[in-house]
Amino acid sequence: MAKIKPRAKIPKEAELGEIIEIKTLIRHPMHSGRVKNAEGKTIPRQIINKFEARFNGDLIFSMNLEPSISSNPYISFPYKVSDSGSFDLVWTEDGGEVYKLSKSMKVS
């Protein structure tokens, strides 16, 4: 299986009060549990079911994902810049495996 790799596009610097758009992508097949493989066996459901974004520990945005979300799920969301600090992004897979990414941002 291809390596599951989270990515995020966050500006390194932003102005106080500015509303930025954070774009995230994680490489993941998002097996819906309905697709059959070449041998005719159903590939069991294995999806990213939860995404959470925190800034300096505060939850700023979260999303529940269902099998209807495309493979390599892309999520973009807003954030109003209030301070310098770091974003902690967490993707949770079926079965409890988590993928994390941290990025810092400075108020200019």
Partner 1 sequence: MKNKSLKSINRRSAITLLTCMGFSLSLHSGLMASPEMVQSELDKISKGSKKKDADIFLDVPEIAENGNQVKVSFEIESPMTENDFVKEVYIFADGNPAPNVGKFEFTPFSGECFASTKMRLSKTQDVYLLAKFNDGKYALEKSTVKVTIGGCGG
What is the C-alpha separation between 23 and 76, in angstroms, rounded? Answer: 4
- Residue 36 three-state SS: strand
Number of residues counted as binding partner 1 (CB under 8 A): 31
Among candidates 18, 24, 4, 13, which has minimal Cα distance to 104? 13
- Interface residue with partner 1 among 63, 90, 101, 107 (CB under 8 A) is 63
- How many other β-carbons are positioned within 10 Å of the β-carbon of residue 90? 16
Contacting partner 1 within 7-36 (CB under 8 A): 19, 21, 32, 34-36
Q: Does 39 bind partner 1 (CB under 8 A)?
A: no
Taking CB under 8 A as the rule, does residue 82 contact partner 1?
yes
Interaction site with partner 1 (CB under 8 A): 19, 21, 32, 34-37, 55, 58-71, 73-80, 82
